[in-house]
Structure 1
Amino acid sequence: MPGPSTLSLWDDTAEESDYRSPTTGDVTTDVAIVGGGYTGLSTALHAAERGLECCVLEARQIGFGGSGRNVGLLNAGLWLPPQDVRAKLGGERGARLVDILGEGPAYVMSLIEKHQIRCELTRTGTIHAAHSEGGLKDLTRRAEEWARLGAPVRLLSRQETAEKIGSQAFHGGLLDARAGTLNPMGYVRGLARAAKGAGARIHTEAPVTKLVKQPGGWLLETGQGTVKAKSVILATNAYSDGLWPGLEGSFVPIHFFQVATIPLGARIADILPERQGIWDTGRIMFSLRRDASDRLIIGSMGSAIGGSRGLSERWAARQLRRLFPDLGPVEFETSWHGRIAMTADHLPRIHRLDDGLYTPVGYNGRGIAPGTIFGKAMADLLAGGAEADLLMPVTDVSQETARGLKAGFYQAAFAVNQVIRSL
């Protein structure tokens, strides 16, 4: 059972070993990367493979942020349907982003295979489940566009959805065969191992307290030493703080919590028998998956409230009874939550903060594949690529309107939702 010091179930069950290496002394490098999650470690891995000296500075431990706390759904694309991405970014750039992120899961899987990352990978897809007839209409629109693009994405009937999930609660679903599930902490620790093997320095427990521009580069100060670098990538996403003024105000932080049962074994033989992960079309969406040890992990927007037998566990018990009335009472093992960086248009950003200083931010709950792909794009840029070739137009930081009010409203609404749906 996860101990009180662990971040999530994934932190406790990941097969890949935790990596800890505090900073000692001063370092000079080509690239300094702040943040030891998917984006930062993918940047380090790909930049080191391109011959650049890299130094990753993680304030806590590898995967401390969303990379070690998310659901573990390895999805293709973005939150938005592909036609909406093209409409917002323009036909050519939008189509390119859709194509590249559509192949995102395949690229992540190739890294897992290449570096033999132990992360409980499944390749059976994910299901976007329709919670209502309106939700099914949205999925139909998505399915039609993915079919036009030739993607292996299929609209499921209500009966097919019931067979895949083991529940009669849904009106249909969208099965994406490109996708899968994994242990997210296992994957991010595996990226750290691969990046270190490629020659990158990785330091944990190394919060950057100051970032100063100098002739020819940047100086980063930590409590144990300094790092001089020609270029810097801030890969902190939803866990950005005041290190760069204004960055944390460029998105709205949204919490997402999860509750895991104890291993249920044969009791759940008919629930997600092919182990697809699901999420639904509700405005306050929920997620459900089954891990390698036959736990059910159910979650939704908001914070984990109350600990053992608290509000979130009562919510989880009520939802499992609704979805699987024959399952019976279950015991819960642990709960946790993480943060998502939501942008107003549900699109990620690449900001140029200053000369040689960039940050990708705002994955809107799609961190695994996009974080990996955007990290590779940052490495390509630093190895001599052009900004015009990046996945997104490079922009300055702009502040999210009424960010604090929005964050407070969402947090309150999500808590009320837990109360109502736990009754």
Structure 2
Amino acid sequence: MRDRAWSRVLLAQTIRHLVNHDPRSHGLWELTAPAAPATRALAGRVAADVAVIGAGYTGLSAALHLAQGGARVAVLEGEAIGFGGSGRNVGLVNAGLWVRPEAVPAALGPERGERLLALLGAAPRLVFDLVAAHGIACEAETRGTLHCAVGAGGLAELRERARQWQDRGAPVRLLDAAETARLVGSQAYAGALLDARAGTIQPLAYARGLAAAALAAGAQIFTGSPVTGTERDGAGWRVATPGGTVEAAWIVVATNAYTRAPWPEVRAEIAHLPYFNIATAPLGDNLRRSILPEGQGAWDTRPVLTSFRLDGAGRLVVGSVGALRGTGGPVHRAWARRTLRTLFPQVGEVPFEAEWYGQIGMTADALPRFHRLAPNVVGFSGYNGRGIAPGTAFGRVLAELIAGTLAEDDLPLPVTAPVPHPFRAVKELVYEMGAQAAHLAGARRQGDVRRGR
């Protein structure tokens, strides 16, 4: 019965106009986002001050802020607005990075490190301010996020994170098990770190809203226009696509984990970490009041983590590391069903409505990069699972750098050359297959418990 219902859901998805004509690329977000603004492929020659490559958060934020400053901007996107990680992520608008705060100045030096922490600590506020200023319909919730502790070890990790953020004046608070259970709706966790700076959005809707705002500010956006090559043209650049060219003084490379030619060195620096999400049908009012009742999004401290949140219609979205392809599909679906039973037994056998996955761009040290790939060719990459707020903030930084209101010495990251990620292909295989092994091991442990072993 469930298999037939699942088939009907997938069939319904495939007959809709999806971003990538693939029901597992953008899933729930494509099904519920407002329509993208009208765009077309580049045809002929366009003159601009800045060519922005990639219509995700970084590229669209850069385009919006540049256009607001009076620059002529042409955005070139090989697929559709929000095609990459910007349309596939969980939708948690978090502050900072995955690494602990003190690791950042230790790696970058105290001046740049604290500058980066300040920028990214305030980045969720930038996202929500843009949402409000431009009337972006993206289910924005500003009630914080919950990083949930698994056992005593997880609680110790969160206690130290809380101390490091509180030393910097951040509004974070460590919750005990009882308060965590109240806010999560589950007894599974020993505590949680509540970050009041953070929140949730419908991520593809936010990307499309940024695009509409950039267009309204005067930027041009060309979709279905992959960059096939670049060449110097006097003091500027000529950027080629199958249908035309853009001539510009500057190029912003904003492609991150979905980088293709002509900058293979950016892709070589990043290892792909797959991440999937599965969404239930909308829950009833009683269930919605018992699960994440105050509207926070959440994830836990497991190495192969679990994330969960509600969307605007009350669908429960659960996710983890892994790709929904090959043997990963049935393994991860079974894991999602077990996880819901363990965390939220009150949900029962609710049907799933959508599933999707994408790739996170991981650097060797889990820190982002700023590159000058050639004269007047700049970009950030390596978001390591924190793309929404950092991508938006880094896009504004690039606009300020190009406009001359921010000096290179005042950037939050040093200029570095791309360095290939060591053993990248091996790590990508380990990420994908290791996630399957971890989720299968969880199934075996649960089976042993039921059999009394």
Same fold (TM over 0.5): yes
Which stretch of structure 1 is more off in the superposition, 141-150 or 166-175? Answer: 141-150
Residue of 421, 433, 436 corresponding to 1:415? 436
Give runs of aligned pairs for residues 151-300 of structure 1, distance below 5 A. 151-266=170-285, 267-300=287-320
> Do 1:306 and 1:312's aligned partners in 2 also have CA atoms closer than 8 Å?
no
Distance 2:105 2:302 in 1: 24
> Do 1:256 and 1:339's aligned partners in 2 also have CA atoms closer than 8 Å?
yes
Number of residue pairs matched by the alignment: 423
Name 2:50's counterpart in structure 1: 31
Residue of 332, 354, 369 corresponding to 2:389? 369
Q: Alpha carbons of 1:197 and 1:307: their partners in 2 closer, same or farther (altered >3 Å)?
A: farther
Name 2:363's counterpart in structure 1: 343
> Do 2:249 and 2:376's aligned partners in 1 also have CA atoms closer than 8 Å?
yes
Name 2:68's counterpart in structure 1: 49
Give runs of aligned pairs for residues 83-102 of structure 1, distance below 5 A. 83-102=102-121
> Do 1:313 and 1:332's aligned partners in 2 also have CA atoms closer than 8 Å?
no
Name 1:137's counterpart in structure 2: 156
Name 2:409's counterpart in structure 1: 388
Deviation at 1:16, TM superposition (A): 5.1
Amino acid paired to 2:411: L
Residue of 417, 420, 424 corresponding to 1:403? 424
Amino acid paired to 1:415: Q
Distance 2:264 2:191 in 1: 45
Amino acid paired to 2:340: L
Distance 2:353 2:164 in 1: 40
Amino acid paired to 1:404: A
> Do 2:332 and 2:436's aligned partners in 1 also have CA atoms closer than 8 Å?
no
Which stretch of structure 1 is more off in the superposition, 61-70 or 86-95? Answer: 86-95
TM-score, normalised with respect to structure 2? 0.91
Q: Secondary structure at the match of 1:3?
A: helix
Distance 1:155 1:14 in 2: 34
Amino acid paired to 1:91: P
Distance 1:309 1:251 in 2: 24
Amino acid paired to 2:408: E
Q: Is 1:64 equivalent to 2:83 in the alignment? A: yes
Deviation at 1:245, TM superposition (A): 3.3
Q: Is 1:357 equivalent to 2:367 in the alignment? A: no
Distance 1:112 1:307 in 2: 39
Q: Is 1:22 equivalent to 2:41 in the alignment? A: yes
> Do 1:374 and 1:391's aligned partners in 2 also have CA atoms closer than 8 Å?
no
Q: Secondary structure at the match of 1:26?
A: strand
Q: Alpha carbons of 1:412 and 1:307: their partners in 2 closer, same or farther (altered >3 Å)?
A: closer
What percentage of residue pairs aligned between the two structures are identical?
47
1:351-372 C-alpha deviation (Å, 9 max, x unpaired): 1111011121001100000000
Residue of 354, 375, 394 corresponding to 1:334? 354
Q: Secondary structure at the match of 2:347?
A: coil
TM-score, normalised with respect to structure 1? 0.97
Distance 1:148 1:408 in 2: 39
Amino acid paired to 1:218: W
Deviation at 1:412, TM superposition (A): 1.1
1:88-109 C-alpha deviation (Å, 9 max, x unpaired): 1111211111111111111111
Residue of 320, 323, 330 corresponding to 2:340? 320
Structure with the larger helix share = 2
> Do 2:37 and 2:212's aligned partners in 1 also have CA atoms closer than 8 Å?
no
Q: Alpha carbons of 1:417 and 1:186: their partners in 2 closer, same or farther (altered >3 Å)?
A: same
Amino acid paired to 1:326: Q
Deviation at 1:419, TM superposition (A): 2.6
> Do 1:341 and 1:362's aligned partners in 2 also have CA atoms closer than 8 Å?
yes
Deviation at 1:139, TM superposition (A): 0.4
Deviation at 1:82, TM superposition (A): 1.2
Deviation at 1:326, TM superposition (A): 2.7
Amino acid paired to 1:211: T
Amino acid paired to 1:77: G
> Do 1:119 and 1:186's aligned partners in 2 also have CA atoms closer than 8 Å?
yes
Amino acid paired to 1:265: G
Distance 1:405 1:122 in 2: 38
Distance 1:19 1:294 in 2: 29
Give runs of aligned pairs for residues 110-149 of structure 1, distance below 5 A. 110-149=129-168
Q: Secondary structure at the match of 1:297?
A: strand
Which stretch of structure 1 is more off in the superposition, 320-329 or 199-208? Answer: 320-329
Q: Is 1:3 equivalent to 2:13 in the alignment? A: yes
RMSD of aligned C-alpha atoms? 1.6
List runs of 5+ in structure 1 lacking aligned partners.
none
> Do 1:279 and 1:287's aligned partners in 2 also have CA atoms closer than 8 Å?
yes
Distance 2:422 2:327 in 1: 33
Q: Secondary structure at the match of 2:44?
A: coil
Deviation at 1:3, TM superposition (A): 1.7
1:179-223 C-alpha deviation (Å, 9 max, x unpaired): 100100111101000101111010111111112223211111111
Q: Secondary structure at the match of 2:239?
A: strand
> Do 2:229 and 2:261's aligned partners in 1 also have CA atoms closer than 8 Å?
no
List runs of 5+ in structure 2 lacking aligned partners.
1-8, 15-20, 445-453
